[in-house]
Structure 1
């Protein structure tokens, strides 16, 4: 095999010129576009990772906020139960005290009315006794007439009540 050095150098020079032209006009812009694409993809990956971390952090904060709200709601309900229980006990005690007071007042009123009725009855009985006695003295009747007279006056007294 025999090498022709002149054609070898011409081919080498042609190859270098072609390589230089391709590098300047084809590979340079192509590599530049590929480098920009690589940077864009890396930036998007970093943005996605950052967004994922922020989302996880927000999710954790929301879970914490929900848990806090649940605890506060439970505390409010428990406090409301306790307050309503105390208020119910107070209402029952007040109602019992009021019922006792009203009972005492009613008993006093009944006793007063009873005393008034007894006093009025005594007054009427004594007035009737005097009236009967005066009628008996006026009439001087026998036993049977006297009983009839007493029955008549008792009926009059019974009719007035």
Structure 2
């Protein structure tokens, strides 16, 4: 069926949209309530499944970082304490080494004085020993000379008694005895 004289009705998209807008010109509260309910459900689901675990992880991270900061601070304090102890130990060791060196020096001075005193005493003892030996040797020599003189005197006296000598013979005899005494030495 064709109608001649009448214009065919063309439905266009713009006419449909305009028609739909004309029909819905009021606020549709059902859609708003549904969308609001869906938004709230979505927020609750996000809070339970995303925001809660995320906040838990963030809290754990915060606690971990705080623990690390506390541990680092404690380590720093411990290191400072150990450094101070090491400095004190080093200072004590230096003082002890200085004291030991001073004691060693004093002991060395004492030993040196003892050695010098012992050397002087030994030198004095040796000197006294040498003097004593010299004196003994001197006494022996004097005794030997006295013995020889006595022997020569006896010998001269016996020769004189044996012969009556004149002055020339007497001089000759004395010279012989002096020569004999020189040979005996």
Higher relative contact order (CA 8 A, sep 6+): 2
Q: 1:158 maps to what in 2?
A: 182
Encode CA deviations 1:42-81: one digit per residue, 9 max, x unaligned.
Answer: 1111111101100110010011011001101111110111
Aligned length: 161
Q: Per-residue displacement from partner, 1:83-121 (whole Å, max 9, x unpaired)?
A: 110121122122212322321232122122212211220
Residue 81 of structure 2 is matched in structure 1 by 57
Q: 1:91 matched to which residue of 2?
A: 115
Which stretch shifts more, 13-22 or 123-132? Answer: 123-132
TM-score (normalised: structure 2): 0.77
Say if 1:150 and 1:16 are closer, same or farther in 2 by CA, change over 3 A.
same
Larger radius of gyration: 2
CA distance 1:133–1:7, shift in 2 (3 Å): same
Superposed CA RMSD in Å reads 2.2
54, 61, 70: which one pairs with 1:30? 54
- Whole-angstrom distance in 1 between the partners of 2:38 and 2:56: 25
Change (3 A) 1:31 1:138: same
- Which residues of structure 1 form unaligned runs of 5+? none
Residue 57 (structure 2) pairs with residue 14 (structure 1)? no
Task: Indicate which of 114, 129, 132 corresponds to 2:156.
Answer: 132
Query: Aligned partners of 1:19, 1:151: CA distance in 2, in Å?
Result: 159
CA distance in 2, matches of 1:50, 1:159: 109
1:75 paired with 2:99, answer yes
- Shift, 1:147, TM fit: 4.0
Indicate the residue corresponding to 1:100 in structure 2: 124
